[in-house]
Amino acid sequence: MKLIRVVFLVVLFSSYGLIAETEKKVMDLQTCDYPALYNFGDSNSDTGGMAAAFFPMIAPCGDTYFHRPAGRGSDGRLIIDFIAEHLGLPLLSPYLDSVGTNFHHGANFATGGATIRRQNESWFRLVTASDRNRLPRPQDFSKALYTFDIGQNDLAAGFRTMSMKKLRATIPDIINQFSIQIRDLYSKGARTFWIHNTGPIGCLPVATIKVQNPKPGYLDEHGCIRGQNHRAREFNKKLKHSVHHLRAELSEAAITYVDMYRGKYDLIRNAKEQGFEDPFKICCGFHGIGFDVWCGNKATVKDIEVYAGSCAKPSAVISWDGVHYSEAANSWIASQIVNGSLSDPPIPITRACHRKN
């Protein structure tokens, strides 16, 4: 028994030594000087693309930070906003709101509802071809940081229209299409990629609130829809595998895979410990069986007219509108990912330009 204990301690201290050595090597790396930030994604990182192209956001969206609707599906800043601030860069302007906008420090190509598949052309290709006078110099493209937060809508659409078996069969093609886009950007000079996996879709309150009398095992121990989260984890596993292949293929690329799923799920399961209320509470909106009144809208529910306004304390709520996170939640999640603790390789975003050997 003593021998086992000694061996365990030797392994434990060796592990601590390796971790400390790895952390020292990371901190010894020079801080990256990103002249620009380019983001690709869906509504989780859309800073106004959908609002500019189709319909504007309405109050109370934006109330917490911007004090007005600012094109974001939240009461304030998104994770991509906190990333930009962490890097000392301006908040990203959406490419689709390009009139009079200066893109010298980057651009945001994210739009609400965007998917990986069914995308025939990259917005980045268009902006590099037609707006050079408002973008960084071409030689700066290789020094910029390229962030990605997309995939949730591909899975969500599958949940609505496919069997789990059929959705599972589509995941390899979704990942393949994503890899094609990374290769395309690489061919145009992109070198530093920061890729978020998809979050725990089965924990979105807009879905869980519609579950009535679930069968045993349908929900997990924290109240999330088990099957949807299982598909999300399967998607993430294949995405991570694809990232490893891309690293080997793209010899000059520095590609960081970020476990957004873990960050969001940790917040949901530890909500009260982190100062939040019920993780399934929706701050802005009314949803239930047979009805959805989205944030800022009015509707008649059970013969009563209701207005979906903001809750009294958005900073205590994780979900802003049932799908998107509040500024407080986005801030918490961003603080967990920028330091590299949820990344492969485990490197902070400020040093992500360094390729892993």
What CATH number does residue 248 fall under? 3.40.50
Write out the two tokens for 63: 């109330």
Helix count and strand count (H, E) for the chain: 10, 10
Domain that holds residue 89: 32-272+327-351
Q: What is the rounded average pLDDT for all residues in the chain? A: 89
What are the pLDDT digits (tens) for 285-314?
Answer: 999 999 999 999 999 999 999 999 999 999
Among candidate residues 174, 103, 180, 98, the one with its CA nearest the CA of residue 136: 103
DSSP string over 22-70: HHHHHHHSPPP--S-EEEEESTTS-SSHHHHHT----TTTTTTTTSS--
60 within some domain: yes
Q: How many CB atoms lie within 10 A of CB 162?
A: 14
302 within some domain: no
| Predicted local distance difference test score (pLDDT) of residue 125 | 52
Among candidate residues 71, 255, 260, 256, the one with its CA nearest the CA of residue 151: 260
| Predicted local distance difference test score (pLDDT) of residue 28 | 73
Write out the two tokens for 250: 């793209």
| Predicted local distance difference test score (pLDDT) of residue 14 | 52
309 within some domain: no
262 within some domain: yes
Confidence of residue 166 (pLDDT cuts 50, 70, 90): very high
| Predicted local distance difference test score (pLDDT) of residue 134 | 62
Backbone angles phi, psi at 166, to 5 degrees: -70, -40
167 within some domain: yes
- At 103 the three-state DSSP class reads coil
Q: Which residue has the higher pLDDT, 151 or 131?
A: 151
- Provide the annotated active-site residues: 43, 321, 324
| Predicted local distance difference test score (pLDDT) of residue 180 | 95
What are the pLDDT digits (tens) for 79-119?
Answer: 999 999 999 999 999 988 766 677 889 999 999 999 998 74
What are the pLDDT digits (tens) for 2-16?
Answer: 555 544 444 444 544
- Calculate what percentage of the chain has a pLDDT beyond 90: 80
150 within some domain: yes
What b-and-e string marks burial along 120-159, b requiring 16 or more CB atoms within 10 Å of the CB? eebbbeebbeeeeeebbeeebbebbbbbbbbbbbbbbbbb
Residue 216 has pLDDT above 80, yes or no: yes
* Domain count for the chain: 1
What are the pLDDT digits (tens) for 219-246?
Answer: 999 999 999 999 999 999 999 999 999 9
Identity of residue 9:
L
99 within some domain: yes
Confidence of residue 19 (pLDDT cuts 50, 70, 90): very low
| Predicted local distance difference test score (pLDDT) of residue 188 | 92
294 within some domain: no
